[in-house]
Amino acid sequence: MSGLAWGAFYGLAAGLVIAVAALIGVWGERKVSARIQMRIGPQELGPFGLLQTLADTVKLVLKEDITPRAADVRIFRIAPLIVFAPIAMSLAVIPYAAGFAPLDTSVGVLFFMAVPAISVIGVLLAGWASRNTYATIGGLRAAAQMISYELPRTLSVLPFVLLAGSMRPLDIMDEWRWWWIPLTLIAFVVYFISSVAEVNRGPFDLPEAESELVAGYFADYSGIRWAIFMMAEYGGLVAASLFGAAFFFGGYLGLPGALGVIVLIAKATLIATAMMWVKWTYPRMRPDQLMGTAWKVLTPMALVQLVIVGAVIPWL
């Protein structure tokens, strides 16, 4: 019973963290895109327009939650949660501070890679349940894309498992040395690109391509359910940034307590900004380019990285 209460409490906390992260993330995205387009961006509400997203949230919550008549109502309603929940869960295994991860498990790395993959099912369900051709195509595209990029993404974090000899994130943090950064540079590039693809962001936003598919798998969603999809996207962005900051850049760097958390968040912010930068720089890819990149570029690169790390290990 206490386990269930703990789970509920944790779920609430993760939801809150993601909500705040999404608030700041959307604001950041609008600022970054504006600066890249030589605009100023939100500036009227609050300092630097910081409250703009909050106002948008109020608007979203107050909007009517429309369910299409032809939709498969139950699946349609539950799909956003199926997308959101695994991503919230993945935040649990990230080592936030020295000796602290909300879910300290010996298969943390595997957990982080495997659990968010469940959200693919939610995306597929959303696309299917909408009874809308655009949404269905978007869902199918998303499934193909997210499953394809699972492989290079998982391969890209394997070097750390090899180097630390453990899949427990806190162990890896303890073992972390600064020269892992140059050693795993290729892995970071692969991780970065496949993470962008995992969260369906540009230039890998084929599942939600506005100009081709209206909005893809969430074309028929509105109000709070649409907001949940968006929060899942930003949650995925936050999770990928935090995980990348922890593994590839040493996370809290052995600093104690809150200081370590701040360092981790700062690094994650940089990675998230870079992801936005990439999104607002490149045009959307074609499906064949998308698949070609995953199988013919990123996977071989990740394997090359594995070979390099494997060759180094006997010398340690």
Partner 1 sequence: MAVNSHNNTDTRNHEIGAPAQAPHVVPVTVNVTDDFPGGVAGFFARWQSLLTGLGITGRKALGPATTLRYPHEKVALSPRWRGALRLRGILGLDDIPIIEDTPPEYNALIDGLYRADRLPPCVGNCPANVDARGQGYYLGEGKPAEAYELVRDRNILPGVLGRICHHPCETACRRNYYDEPIAIRPLHRHAYEEYVKVASERLEPLERTRNRRIAIIGSGPSGLAAAYDLMKLGYSVSVYEKEKKPGGALYSGVPSYRLPREVLHDEIDNLVTLGMEFKLGVEVGKDVPIDYLLGEYDAVLIAVGLQESRIIPVPGHTAEGVTGALPFLRDANWKGDPGVQGKRVLVIGGGNVAVDVARCALRTGATEVRLACLEGEEEMPCHPWEIEEALDEGVIAMCSLGPEEVLVDDEGKVRGMRMRECISVFDASGRFAPQFGDEYTEVAVDMVVFSVGQGPVLADVVAGSDLTLTERGLLPVDGTLFTTAQEGVFASGEVVTGPGSAIASIATGHEAATSIHRYLEGLDLAEGRVARPVPVYDKYQVAHIDGVEANRRRVTMPMAKPEERATDFRHIELGITHLEALNEAMRCLRCQSEVCVGCTFCARTCPDYAIEVERVDDPGERRVTHYELDLSKCCFCGLCAPQCPTNALTHTGQYELSFFHRDLTIFDRHEMLRDGAGTRATGRDGVHEAVREVPR
Q: Where are the beta strands (DSSP E) in 50-125?
A: none
User: How crowded is the C-beta side of 200, counted as CA atoms within 13 Å?
Assistant: 32
Dihedral sign for Cα 269, 159, 288, 129, please: negative
User: Please, what is the minimum distance in Å from the beta carbon of residue 39 to partner 1?
Assistant: 5
| Residue 32 touching partner 1 (CB under 8 A) | yes
Query: Which of 34, 103, 144, 161: binder of partner 1 (CB under 8 A)?
Result: 34
| Residue 100 touching partner 1 (CB under 8 A) | no
User: Please, what is the minimum distance in Å from the beta carbon of residue 183 to partner 1?
Assistant: 19
Closer to partner 1 by CB, 151 or 297: give it.
Answer: 297
User: Please, what is the minimum distance in Å from the beta carbon of residue 59 to partner 1?
Assistant: 20
Helix axes 185-198, 133-164, angle to 10 degrees: 160
User: Please, what is the minimum distance in Å from the beta carbon of residue 36 to partner 1?
Assistant: 5
CA distances from 135 to 123, 128, 256 (A): 10, 7, 47
User: Please, what is the minimum distance in Å from the beta carbon of residue 125 to partner 1?
Assistant: 34
How many of the chain's residues bind partner 1 (CB under 8 A)? 17
What residues contact residue 227 under an 8 Å CB cut-off, 6+ apart?
57, 60, 61
User: Please, what is the minimum distance in Å from the beta carbon of residue 262 to partner 1?
Assistant: 25
Query: Which of 12, 36, 61, 147: binder of partner 1 (CB under 8 A)?
Result: 36
Closer to partner 1 by CB, 135 or 272: give it.
Answer: 272
Euclidean distance between CA atoms 108 and 120, whole angstroms: 20
CB atoms within 10 A of CB 281: 10
Query: Which of 1, 38, 307, 316: binder of partner 1 (CB under 8 A)?
Result: 38
Supply φ then ψ for residue 97, to 5 degrees: -140, 170
Euclidean distance between CA atoms 108 and 126, whole angstroms: 28
Using CB under 8 A, which of the segments 36-44, 112-120, 239-247, 304-312 binds partner 1?
Answer: 36-44
Supply φ then ψ for residue 255, to 5 degrees: -75, 145
Burial class (CB in 10 A: 0-12, 13-18, 19+), 77: middle
Write the interaction track for partner 1 spanning residues 256-295; mark x where CB under 8 A is met and - where it is not.
---------------------xx-xxx------x------
- Which residue type sits at 222? S
Query: Which of 6, 8, 16, 35: binder of partner 1 (CB under 8 A)?
Result: 35
User: Please, what is the minimum distance in Å from the beta carbon of residue 276 to partner 1?
Assistant: 10
Euclidean distance between CA atoms 24 and 51, whole angstroms: 9
Closer to partner 1 by CB, 17 or 34: give it.
Answer: 34
Closer to partner 1 by CB, 158 or 275: give it.
Answer: 275
Euclidean distance between CA atoms 260 and 264, whole angstroms: 6
Query: Which of 44, 47, 179, 307: binder of partner 1 (CB under 8 A)?
Result: 44
Sites of contact with partner 1 (CB under 8 A):
32, 34-40, 43-44, 277-278, 280-282, 289, 297
